[in-house]
Structure 1
Amino acid sequence: MKFGVRSLLSKWLAPVDGRGRGGWWPFVREPYSGAWQKNDEWAAEDLLCSPIVYACVTLIANDIGKLRARLVARDSNGIWSEVEGNSPFWPVLRHPNRYQNHIQFKQWWIMSKLRHGNTYVLKERDARGVVTRLYVLDPCRVTPLVSDDGSVYYQLSQDNLAGVPTVSETVPASEIIHDRMNCLYHPLVGISPLYAAAIAAGIGIKIQRNTATFFGNNANPGGILVAPGNITAENAAAIKAAWETGYSGVNAGKVAVLGDGMKFEPMSRNATDSQLIQILNWSDERICSVFHVPGYKVGVGQAPSYNNIEALDRGYYSGCLQSPIEEMEACLDDGLGLDGVTKGVDLDLDGLMRMDTKTQMEALKIGVDAGIIAPNEGRKQVNLPPLDGGDTVYMQQQDFPLDQVRQNKIVQPSPAPATVPEPADVSDEDKSLILEAKSIIATQKAIEAMRKAAQPEAVHV
């Protein structure tokens, strides 16, 4: 794969360092000073052992992965609509590379960002310079570089799956899509949420391991044997060996017979005394807060009592998913050479915002009745075919302009007078009779009007 890299002999490239310790390296910081010497540091892959960390990462990645990427354009009315399938940008959105479909590609993109804080996507172009393939790289094999004039490059290690055959390859920033989490220490180094969740996740993992060991011993805590008097070191060692042989391991839980006034006192506290469940809940809640995931989505705490699926999904979207979704859209716009103003990439939220059937039908009915959408537009949202005449927006006749209602001067359109056709075969004598009848009727109306005008007005006392 050729990247079109220009000569870098005249440039001095310095690796970017997040907080002075290799910000792209996949290790979480020490939870306390000296933790590394005690073998108590946590790597990203270790923290994924936490059920809540795993649930949060996969939930976000799967929800974004299922959103269909659309190529949209803005028309003269400012309306965004999907572009026809003959655009040269469509193939890479539908099938990003040779070993991933578009769902797997977006999932791997988000997982890399959440686990390591950075997502590096290598572009492959055709002879026209159009991007035809996208490969999400291993963040541990990519190092951002900055030249003496401020230009950004990326040093890639060998990655046969992504088509990087050499041990080390340096490419300009134009050939890499770099999506990063919040950059706390350097603008080119994103920091993973695992950085903040390390302590809480580590506590939860240790509690689970200790619990597994505890129940592996038939839930019998360790303790000490207390003798009423002094015993020699030899006797103490013999008693200890006999106790461990007869009442620990596979023999735990058997009946022990103690003589000479000896008694057993447990040293470990039980789950109730140590408030094990409360500590685990605290750990899980801290992890959810770091990933901005509502706890009920991953089994932490109780779900909200009100039954409004749309409101819950919109809260989850605005608090957790909106930022990474819009960041991915912007990165794809820049990576494919789209301006994002007249043409861009849009992730279809219909795959995420799904209302219950009753609420959806009520919302569509309100939109049609209010003249906002046409009936066929509403039918399209529920995957129903269009109907004849359904492309027209309907309004009721009694609606009037607001300015007329405010001034109390509603102008009713006067209907056109109905014309009565003259009979085709009327004789001259009949025509004269008709004219005479019309004259008599007009005279009677005039007399009645004069009579009303002559009557005095009633006076109210």
Structure 2
Amino acid sequence: MRILGFNIGRRREKALNAVNPNRGGWLRIMESFTGAWQQNVEVKYDSVLSYHADFACRTLIASDIAKLRIKLVERDDDGVWSETKKSSYSPVLRKPNHFQNRIQFMECWVLSKLQRGNAYILKQRDARGVVVRLYVLDPLLVTPLISDDGSVFYQLQSDNLVGLGEPSITVPAREIIHDRFNCFFHPLVGLSPIFAGGLAAMQGLAIQNDSTRFFENGARPGGVLTAPGSISDDTAKRLKEYWDQNFSGKNAGKVAVLGDNLKYEAMRAKAVDSQLIEQLKWSAEVVCSVYHVPNYKAGVGSMPTHNNIQSLNVEYYSQCLQVLIESIEICLDEGLGMGESIGTELDVDGLLRMDSITQMDVLDKAKGVMTLDERRKKIDLKKVTGGDTIYLQQQDHSLEAIAARDAQLIAQSQASQAVPDELTDNSDDDDAAALAQAEQRAFFAEAMLAFQKGLAA
């Protein structure tokens, strides 16, 4: 059977076993803290996804990586990587599949990895065996399998969007790009940061839900109705129902008339006493820390006072994005079957973009190592006549010319020592003239050397 450009067959000679994330040891109950299972404290996955700090971190990381252009680069004989185009790779990098563009595809890839710890990308090949389509699969519909000899396979459930109409098919590992991280319990099973930050997110949601209920009650706390004497359970139940129906929720704030010396006493911890704001901020900071996102990037806390945008972005890139970007590049290189001299590279210039003043200052200082056209390309300007030359100031000399000048001066010094003493008694004017002649000869020697190099090139 042939599906999505590759042959699917039934393997009868080997048994395939689903991956056990516990590696065959004792069954692990993933608790948010010790004893959480016994206390019925549950970290709900869907609820965690709705927490503002978790949502901000995931979408920030995914959007920042998705906006980076995927470049196909090739290494020349000098070991320099430069952008190129290849008919076998460029089309699928530019348009991964029929229903997603490059940004949507990469955002889906990163979100799958952050939310589930795994990103499964199915490859579709043409008759030549070249990958022409890439599809991000739902992690819940994919199960890694291991055969008796250690070979890895993947069991895929039905997904009509990517062309999998069969109820269940098994494909070899070469047809899947499996990007994963935090493989604590099995090398084929990644772990989402939600495993570490889920409890903090649930705490933040609990604080917000409690505040919502409080303000729905007109910002008036619940309380206790007390009577001077004893009352029956039926009377207490009737008074409670009457009070809830007439003086809580939308009816909060109405005037209540109490008789028989009944008294109402509010009973709720103050926000200051429970440190409500501090607890909410702390829970958001914990979530940011498990994603390695600076707090201010997710809207938690204030932005650093120093006005250096590039250094802030470099810090964010190095501690959060770099490992994700490098992993994507390696997965694409291996998944598309690229060799050692060709590969993919995400253009991080858009992420590490400097302010205009700093950018122009850096380009001006780079004129000794970059041509004018290369510097103009950084700010999206076209080439100009004579722009393919590196310019240096006149007082800058090459190391070869300086070495030649020093060798010539040493030779002249040794020759002067060989002259009899009566001939070496020269005046200061003669020494100055000799030094000037030596510098002039060194200048001409450097000019001739540069001319010969130009002819050789």
* Root mean square deviation, CA, Å: 2.3
Partner of 1:61: 62
Partner of 2:365: 366
Question: Does structure 2 retain, via aligned residues, the 8 Å contact 1:222–1:266?
Answer: yes
Partner of 1:317: 317
1:219 aligns with 2:219: yes
Question: Does structure 1 retain, via aligned residues, the 8 Å contact 2:123–2:176?
Answer: yes
Partner of 1:344: 343
User: Which amino acid is 2:200 matched to?
Assistant: A
Partner of 1:14: 17
CA distance in 2, matches of 1:324, 1:338: 20
User: Which amino acid is 1:141 matched to?
Assistant: L
User: Which amino acid is 2:88 matched to?
Assistant: P
Partner of 1:255: 255
Instruction: Tell me by how many angstroms 1:389 deviates.
Output: 0.8
Instruction: Tell me by how many angstroms 1:229 deviates.
Output: 2.6
1:412 aligns with 2:439: yes
Question: Does structure 2 retain, via aligned residues, the 8 Å contact 1:44–1:115?
Answer: no
Partner of 2:156: 156
Instruction: Tell me by how many angstroms 1:247 deviates.
Output: 1.2
Deviation readout 1:346-385 (Å, 9 max, x if unpaired): 11111211100000000000001xx111111111100111
Partner of 1:176: 176
Instruction: Tell me by how many angstroms 1:161 deviates.
Output: 0.7
Deviation readout 1:370-418 (Å, 9 max, x if unpaired): x1111111111001111111111011111234584996969524388xx
- Runs of 5+ unmatched residues, structure 2: 410-434, 445-457
State the secondary structure of the residue aligned to 2:154. strand
User: Which amino acid is 1:327 matched to?
Assistant: S
- Runs of 5+ unmatched residues, structure 1: 22-27, 417-461
Deviation readout 1:214-249 (Å, 9 max, x if unpaired): 111111111111222323334333332332232122
Question: Does structure 2 retain, via aligned residues, the 8 Å contact 1:56–1:298?
Answer: yes
Partner of 1:435: none
CA distance in 2, matches of 1:289, 1:402: 50
CA distance in 2, matches of 1:37, 1:96: 47
CA distance in 1, matches of 2:233, 2:9: 77
CA distance in 1, matches of 2:38, 2:138: 28
Selected match of 1:385 from 379, 382, 385: 382
Aligned runs of 1:2-41 on 2, under 5 Å?
2-5=5-8, 7-19=10-22, 29-32=30-33, 40-41=41-42
Partner of 1:82: 83
CA distance in 2, matches of 1:113, 1:241: 50
Aligned CA distance change for structure 1 residues 16 and 308 (closer, same or farther; 3 Å): same
Instruction: Tell me by how many angstroms 1:34 deviates.
Output: 6.8
CA distance in 2, matches of 1:241, 1:397: 94
CA distance in 2, matches of 1:132, 1:323: 26
Instruction: Tell me by how many angstroms 1:120 deviates.
Output: 0.4
Paired-residue identity, %: 51
Aligned runs of 1:36-185 on 2, under 5 Å?
40-84=41-85, 86-185=86-185
Deviates more, 1:123-132 or 1:228-237: 228-237
State the secondary structure of the residue aligned to 2:188. coil
Partner of 2:228: 228
CA distance in 2, matches of 1:356, 1:3: 49
User: Which amino acid is 1:397 matched to?
Assistant: Q
Question: Does structure 2 retain, via aligned residues, the 8 Å contact 1:96–1:133?
Answer: yes
State the secondary structure of the residue aligned to 1:272. coil
Aligned CA distance change for structure 1 residues 365 and 260 (closer, same or farther; 3 Å): same
CA distance in 1, matches of 2:337, 2:42: 42
Question: Does structure 2 retain, via aligned residues, the 8 Å contact 1:5–1:172?
Answer: no
User: Which amino acid is 1:178 matched to?
Assistant: H
Which has the higher Rg, Structure 1 or Structure 2?
1
State the secondary structure of the residue aligned to 1:161. helix
CA distance in 1, matches of 2:149, 2:284: 46
CA distance in 1, matches of 2:23, 2:264: 53
CA distance in 2, matches of 1:306, 1:93: 38
CA distance in 2, matches of 1:117, 1:195: 10
State the secondary structure of the residue aligned to 1:99. coil
Question: Does structure 1 retain, via aligned residues, the 8 Å contact 2:216–2:250?
Answer: no
CA distance in 2, matches of 1:45, 1:119: 18
State the secondary structure of the residue aligned to 1:167. strand
Question: Does structure 2 retain, via aligned residues, the 8 Å contact 1:72–1:81?
Answer: yes
Deviates more, 1:209-218 or 1:237-246: 237-246
User: Which amino acid is 2:369 matched to?
Assistant: I
Question: Does structure 2 retain, via aligned residues, the 8 Å contact 1:29–1:41?
Answer: no
Instruction: Tell me by how many angstroms 1:273 deviates.
Output: 2.0
User: Which amino acid is 1:386 matched to?
Assistant: K
User: Which amino acid is 1:378 matched to?
Assistant: R
1:307 aligns with 2:302: no
Deviation readout 1:163-215 (Å, 9 max, x if unpaired): 11101100000000000012001000000011111100010111111111111
State the secondary structure of the residue aligned to 1:388. coil
User: Which amino acid is 1:119 matched to?
Assistant: A
Partner of 1:455: none
CA distance in 2, matches of 1:39, 1:136: 35
- Alignment size in residue pairs: 407
CA distance in 2, matches of 1:233, 1:400: 101
Aligned CA distance change for structure 1 residues 407 and 260 (closer, same or farther; 3 Å): farther
CA distance in 2, matches of 1:140, 1:243: 48
CA distance in 2, matches of 1:228, 1:189: 64
Deviation readout 1:406-455 (Å, 9 max, x if unpaired): 96969524388xxxxxxxxxxxxxxxxxxxxxxxxxxxxxxxxxxxxxxx
Provide TM-score, normalisation by structure 2: 0.84
CA distance in 2, matches of 1:129, 1:413: 66
Instruction: Tell me by how many angstroms 1:293 deviates.
Output: 0.4
CA distance in 1, matches of 2:356, 2:398: 34
Provide TM-score, normalisation by structure 1: 0.83
User: Which amino acid is 1:373 matched to?
Assistant: M
State the secondary structure of the residue aligned to 1:274. coil
CA distance in 2, matches of 1:222, 1:250: 14
Partner of 1:243: 243
Instruction: Tell me by how many angstroms 1:281 deviates.
Output: 0.6
CA distance in 1, matches of 2:91, 2:397: 50
State the secondary structure of the residue aligned to 2:135. strand
